[in-house]
Amino acid sequence: MVKKKTEKKRIDDFYKLEHITEIKSDSFEEGSYKSKISSEKNKQGYEGIRVQSASTKPYFKTHKLGFWIPNRINLSEWFKWFSRTVKGFAYKIWDKQIEDVSEEVSIYKEKVELLNNELVEAKIKLKDAEERLNKQQVELTLAKEVIDNIEDYELRLTEFENQMKRISSSAKKEEHLIKTKIKESKWILGIDCEVKASEKAVDPQLAIDLHIRTEIGEDKVFEFKSPNLNPFFKKKDDSRLYISDELAQGINQLILYLRRTDLYSGLSEEGTYKIQAPSGIIVMGYNITDEEQRLLKNWNFQLRPYVKIVTFNELIENGKRQLQNIKYARENKEFLKKKEKNK
């Protein structure tokens, strides 16, 4: 019995593994060679990119299984390494120079963009640091005026913090109580809001919570929300954060009020306020999550320099910092008094 000769079946596509599912692919063909790049997923759900090559003449033949790039790798750095290595090998082994000026331009553009971003960030940080330094110097000077009130201020801050904790765990909104407590202890907002400062009202119709003119002529406008109201919320547990209606209303009120102050600042008729570059502060949120903190930081970056959102935690920390300034002023006064006495 003569055995029939078995003919090899022509392979007209790249080798596929049964446990791999192809998502998307693209091919490049030139002469007798063909290459294919495909995005794939295995049964365990891991995704990656497979690169294969094959010869098309005299018949289609896959060059084994190619190589696999897992999605967990730093693809940007890997590709730079791959491109650099292939170019180097091609030149050393085959004496083939691969010119790619566009890639070089792209690399330098990326570096320039990174440096520009770092420069902008450094300038912002420098400006913030200078502002904090100037503010600290003003606060230390004003703290000398209230060194006899330190014990009273400590009790008020402790009471204020306890009120925040109580209200934040309650369902009842107590915005009016908070406004009253803050107006009774405006130094919590900053010593400059208490000492030699005055309250203003540009437009009573807008019902802003507090407008303070400091000794150095700064206008600070405040909106206070109940501590149990969050600035952000989620529609679902796994959804992104959205701005709350209360925060949106607060921002809107501040912007309308600040806009009025700008309009009035441009007028010269008798009886109008001369206000320049006012700043608006919304105090809202207590013990917010890290995710909310990151979003709050982003919002403040976008709203700067005219509007800022401050949490009650930050307000309490600011109050503690004012107490430290007052203590330092008192200690310094006692030191100078003692030094003068010993002369």
pLDDT tens by residue, 277-335 = 688 999 999 999 999 999 999 999 888 888 999 999 999 999 999 999 999 988 888 88
The secondary structure of residue 306, as a DSSP letter, is T
Query: β-strand 219-224 against 198-199: which pairing, if any?
Result: unpaired
What gap in Å lies between CA 132 and CA 139, rounded to an integer?
10
Which tokens belong to 240? Answer: 């992104």
Scanning the structure block, which residue is given the tokens 């009016």?
176
pLDDT at residue 18 in the model: 57
Q: What is the pTM of this model?
A: 0.60
Comma-separated ranges of CATH 3.40.91 domains in the chain: 148-339
What gap in Å lies between CA 90 and CA 150, rounded to an integer?
76
Q: 280, 307 in Cβ contact below 8 A?
A: yes
Residue 173 phi/psi, 5-degree rounding, is: -80, 130
User: Is 148-339 a domain of CATH 3.40.91?
Assistant: yes
Which tokens belong to 249? Answer: 């209303």
E strand or H helix at 201, and its extent?
Answer: none
**Which residues does 319 contact at the CB level (< 8 Å), separation at least 6?**
157, 160, 185, 187, 188
Burial of 41 (0-12, 13-18, 19+ CB in 10 A): middle
In this prediction, residue 272 has a pLDDT band, given cuts at 50, 70 and 90, of very low
pLDDT at 11 over 70: no
Q: 22, 38 in Cβ contact below 8 A?
A: yes
CA 330 to chain centre: 38
First to last CA, the chain: 129
E strand map for 91-133: none
pLDDT tens per residue, range 206-248:
778 999 988 878 889 999 999 999 999 998 888 899 999 999 9
- Concatenate the DSSP letters of all residues of 252-286 into one string: HHHHHHHHHHHHHHT--STT-----S-EEEEE--S
Residues in the chain: 343
pLDDT at 270 over 50: no
